[in-house]
Amino acid sequence: MKSRARQQPASKPAPGRAAVMYVRVSSKEQEQGFSIPAQRQLLTEYAEREGIHVVQEFEDVETAKRAGRTAFGEMVACLRTKASACRILLVEKTDRLYRNIKDWVTIDELGIEVHFVKEGVVLSDDSRSSEKFMHGIKVLMAKNYIDNLGEEVRKGMIEKARQGHWPTVAPVGYVNNPLTHRIEPDPGRAPVVVKLFEWYASGEYSLKALVKKAAAAGLTNRTGGKPLVKAKIHQLLQNPIYCGEFYWLGQLHQGLHQPIISRDLFDQVQQTFAAANHPHHTKRDHAFIGMITCARCGCAFTAETKKGQYIYYHCTGYRGDCGNTWVREEELIRLFGDILGQVRIPPELADKLKVVLRESQSDKEKFVRTAMLRLQQQQMLLRSKLDRAYDDRLSGQIPDDLWTSKSAELQEELRRVRAEMERHEHASEAYESVGLEILELAQSAYSSYVTRNPHDQAHLVKTLVSNSTFDRGSLCPTYVKPFEVFANGSKSGDWLLRLDSNQQPSG
Ligand SMILES: [Zn+2]
């Protein structure tokens, strides 16, 4: 990430109409020739037309190596300090400014006026809540689309795991072979890993002792340099990948990679753990973990299963006894249900929401079209390269081994492009259903909630509620924007009033 903030020559600042401008390109866009100057020109011309005085420019250029946003942070800090002087932010369009809901909240909390020049939208504190909500939904939809692209990557990994191949970075003791995309024993580290299993199986060494022995034997983590800490060694000794099996998303898969220890040795080590009386975790993951904090002491809530069937959530109590009570999962489900019940959209607004969803749908289609076009071009280019290389080989201009490696490389590129195209197709489908889900949620979060299993319920709650605090039987939510506006509105009843008094012809 390269970023900078440029100070404009201080000519007659016009108070009240002072603005900052924000421009950004991602590394991908750079490849496609999108440029900062074009954004800057658009914003400068707009500012001139509107009589807005730009006092400072912020520019983020993402590189493949780093994806933070330095200038974005600087801009937020600047807008916070210059609270009185500068109340306007100019940006090309929504996705230049926000990459996720958090960015949107950050900007929203500044309480400034944001001009999305290309989209022709100006948002300020005076904007109607419904307008803000629609805007929030657009951001949410864009983010969901991006998330879905990630989802497809995960699906690819699941498929790879199902076929018996470890889908990601090799664990200590193995290395990734970039040609075969498989893992292979690491000639340097694998022997030491074997030793660790043997040492621990002997029962003569504690984990602590093993940490020292491993360090002495020169065992370091994959990226090199650092010796393994105790928790890492503990994990390593419980990882069945070394005897040929592995877990992926909680499922055990029979691996096709080469084991470096025997099944017997692995089992022996597990028995040693049991004998050492390490607390036995049967880690059935609890649905609402990570969603509740203690209202009394601020600690996280954890869960445990009692008598093999009742799930209780309670404060971890890391800061001492805080006097909070335990709560059954069934009760939590009921409380979360009440919280979702607070979120209700007036029917007339639901209709507007449909319009926004349709609009954002066409935004997305444009995005997909552009991406597909680019991928098709890449595909054509790769195919013609492949043809050319083939001709060269036929005419004897390149030796066979060079042709083999060259064509393998191009084929691999082609596969990558095809996979990306497929990802867009899948994500597009998911996008439709997400849109419907949001609409349904906002209209009837509660009724769609009650029919689901706890894990789906938790998922639904997370869409609407970022965190909740629990205090002796009562649960207090923090709603995810933009849904908060409905929750508060439906509680105080002023949501409809506000909507009515600000009613404007929708455009
Ligand atoms: Zn507590």
Is there a contact between 420 and 461 (Cβ–Cβ < 8 Å)? no
Taking residues 418-429, report their average pLDDT.
74
**Cα of 296 from ligand 1 centre, angstroms:** 5
**Is pLDDT at 241 greater than 90 in this prediction?**
yes
Prior bond of 240 cis (ω within 30°): no
Provide the percentage of residues in the chain whose pLDDT is more than 70: 70
3-state secondary structure 437-466: HHHHHHHHHHHHHHCCCHHHHHHHHHHHEE
Is there a contact between 115 and 91 (Cβ–Cβ < 8 Å)? yes
Q: Distance between CA 163 and CA 172 in Å, rounded?
A: 22
Average per-residue pLDDT for the chain: 78
pLDDT at 20: 94
**Is pLDDT at 99 greater than 50 in this prediction?**
yes
**Is pLDDT at 490 greater than 60 in this prediction?**
no
- Cβ contacts of residue 35 below 8 Å, gap of 6+? 25
**Is pLDDT at 84 greater than 60 in this prediction?**
no
**Cα of 470 from ligand 1 centre, angstroms:** 9
pLDDT tens-place string over residues 176-195: 887 888 899 999 899 999 99
Nearest to 339 by CA among 496, 439, 460, 497: 460
**Is pLDDT at 68 greater than 50 in this prediction?**
yes
Range of lowest pLDDT (62-71, 212-221, 235-244, 405-414): 62-71
pLDDT at 468: 95
Which residues neighbour ligand 1 (ion) by CB within 5 Å?
294, 296-297, 299, 315, 322, 324
H or E segment to which residue 355 belongs: helix 347-394
**Cα of 289 from ligand 1 centre, angstroms:** 15
Q: Three-class SS of residue 318?
A: coil
**Cα of 326 from ligand 1 centre, angstroms:** 10
pLDDT tens-place string over residues 275-320: 765 444 444 468 898 899 999 999 999 999 887 778 899 999 888 8
Q: How far is CA 76 from CA 10, 26, 54, 143, 430, in A?
A: 21, 19, 16, 21, 33
**Cα of 283 from ligand 1 centre, angstroms:** 23
pLDDT at 42: 93
Q: Distance between CA 259 and CA 184 in Å, rounded?
A: 9
Taking residues 155-173, report their average pLDDT.
82
Angle at 145 between CA 170 and CA 155, to 5 degrees: 35
**Is pLDDT at 492 greater than 50 in this prediction?**
no
Q: Distance between CA 323 and CA 471 in Å, rounded?
A: 9
Alpha carbons within 13 A on the beta-carbon side of 239: 21
**Cα of 232 from ligand 1 centre, angstroms:** 29
**Cα of 319 from ligand 1 centre, angstroms:** 7
Taking residues 200-226, report their average pLDDT.
84
- Is this prediction's pTM over 0.85? no
**Cα of 309 from ligand 1 centre, angstroms:** 24
